[in-house]
């Protein structure tokens, strides 16, 4: 057991969902290196999560920053190749579907190192989303595919990937939620800090390029959330991702009154708000999963989702970003029965991943 894992990560959701895997490496003395691409660099999207999730600082930060898809991914590739050649890991591990994942996957696949993809087999079947291309490429060049559910495993088989390369692990987001949910309840003061005037509120996030980069779509989405909030007489808390912040300024949009915008939140504060919310409106992948795990109804403001399990168990409803559709979707989910089954596993995904990679002693039951 001397395999050396190089975690290649670069954005908020990767830090959150790989933190439990790093923790298992720590606990089992598996040597590892963290290579940060620098795709996310603002404190609120980056270092705050390393601190709160008690992760060691990255060994390398490539400092790539923002740019067009080609420029950003290309620069990552150039810098990653140099680092990976220097540290020569046995396995590169990537998670999810961002440009950092694409670069990590391509860089590793051209070198004498194996590649593992955490959250393999998710598909929205919408190739207009950059994330869909990133997922497909990462899956098809990986030796180890960690599928969160049986459904994602079946998708990989349908695409011709051999069963021997796939392990169904559950999603590491459950590991993260299990570890932090109680901490969030006892440690986070976010509810009082935000001075929520009423006990019931909605939580929203919207940051996806196809929603916020188009002015008319972004306006429709906000109008839909406003309509729903007025109809149910609630406030809405909206931690604004920097991409969306930039667009609000550029388009000169005044966010309507029942929506209270705040800076992006730390993980414990965000988890606390998710748990306490009456309903969550989002276009985020991770937030759809967390709402489902936390038993909070969710309306996803998108045409498609790569997390169909959330819809099948009755936790989530897809609504295209149109004001009337969103208001209608919220009304439907406000009437939904909660208590659905969590389709994303038991919270031991990270252990399964590390055990598969380095053949440790069996996990004690």
Coil, strand or helix: which one is 236? strand
Q: Which of residues 200-219 bind ligand UD1 (CB under 6 A)?
A: 207
SS3 content of the chain, % helix, strand, coil (to 5): 50, 15, 35
The pair phi, psi for residue 252, each rounded to 5°, is: 60, 40
Q: Does 264 bind ligand UDP (CB under 6 A)?
A: yes
CA distance 51 to 44: 11
* Closer by beta carbon to ligand UDP, 122 or else 326: 122
CB of 86 to ligand UD1, least distance (A): 25
Q: Does 347 bind ligand UDP (CB under 6 A)?
A: no
Q: Does 281 bind ligand UDP (CB under 6 A)?
A: no
Among the listed residues 20, 38, 285, 343, the single contact to ligand UDP using CB under 6 A? 285
Buried b (16+ CB within 10 A) or exposed e, 285-317: bbbbbbbbbbebbbbbbbeebbbbbbbeebbbb
Here's the x/- map for ligand UD1, 41-80, by CB under 6 A: it reads as xx--xx-------------------x--------------
Stretch that binds ligand UD1, among 16-24, 33-41, 146-154, 161-169 (CB under 6 A): 33-41
Among the listed residues 284, 310, 342, 350, the single contact to ligand UDP using CB under 6 A? 284
CA distances from 306 to 182, 221, 224, 243, 303 (A): 28, 20, 23, 21, 11
Q: Which of residues 201-220 bind ligand UDP (CB under 6 A)?
A: 205, 207
Which residues partner with 260 through β-bridges? Answer: 237
Strand-pair category, 316-318 with 259-262: unpaired
Paired tokens of 44? 């609120």
Active site residue 207: yes
- Chain residues in the site for ligand UDP (CB under 6 A): 12-13, 16, 205, 207, 239, 264-265, 267, 270, 284-287, 290
Active-site amino acid positions: 207
- Chain residues in the site for ligand UD1 (CB under 6 A): 11-13, 39-42, 45-46, 66, 97-99, 130-131, 207, 241-243, 246
């Amino acid at each position: 057991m001397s395999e050396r894992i190089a975690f290649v990560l670069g954005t908020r959701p990767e830090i959150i969902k790989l933190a439990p895997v790093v923790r298992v490496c720590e606990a089992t003395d598996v040597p590892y290196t963290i290579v940060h691409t620098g795709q996310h660099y603002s404190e609120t999207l980056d270092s705050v999560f390393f601190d709160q999730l008690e992760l060691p600082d990255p060994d390398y930060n490539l400092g790539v920053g923002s740019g067009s898809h080609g420029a950003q991914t290309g620069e990552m590739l150039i810098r990653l190749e140099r680092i990976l050649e220097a540290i020569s890991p046995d396995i590169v591990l990537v998670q999810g579907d961002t440009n950092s994942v694409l670069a990590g996957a391509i860089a590793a696949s051209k070198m004498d190192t194996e590649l593992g993809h955490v959250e393999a087999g998710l598909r929205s079947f919408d190739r207009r989303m950059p994330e869909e291309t990133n997922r497909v490429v990462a899956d098809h060049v990986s030796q180890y595919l960690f599928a969160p559910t049986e459904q994602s495993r079946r998708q990989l088989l349908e695409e011709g990937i051999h069963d021997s390369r796939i392990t169904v692990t559950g999603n590491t987001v459950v590991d993260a939620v299990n570890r932090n949910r109680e901490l969030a309840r006892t440690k986070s003061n976010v509810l009082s800090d935000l001075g929520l005037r009423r006990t019931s509120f909605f939580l929203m996030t919207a940051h996806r390029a196809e929603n916020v980069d188009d002015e008319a779509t972004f306006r429709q989405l906000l109008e839909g959330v406003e309509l729903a909030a007025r109809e149910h007489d609630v406030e809405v808390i909206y931690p604004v991702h920097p991409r969306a912040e930039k667009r609000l300024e550029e388009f000169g949009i005044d966010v309507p009154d029942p929506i209270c915008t705040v800076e992006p939140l730390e993980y414990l504060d965000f988890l606390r708000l998710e748990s306490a919310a009456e309903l969550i409106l989002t276009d985020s992948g991770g937030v759809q999963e967390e709402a489902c795990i936390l038993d909070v109804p969710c309306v996803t403001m998108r045409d498609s989702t790569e997390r169909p399990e959330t819809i099948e168990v009755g936790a989530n409803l897809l609504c295209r970003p149109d004001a009337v559709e969103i208001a209608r979707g919220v009304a439907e989910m406000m009437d939904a029965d909660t208590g659905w089954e969590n389709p994303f596993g038991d919270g031991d995904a990270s252990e399964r991943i590390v055990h598969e990679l380095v053949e440790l002693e069996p996990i004690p039951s």
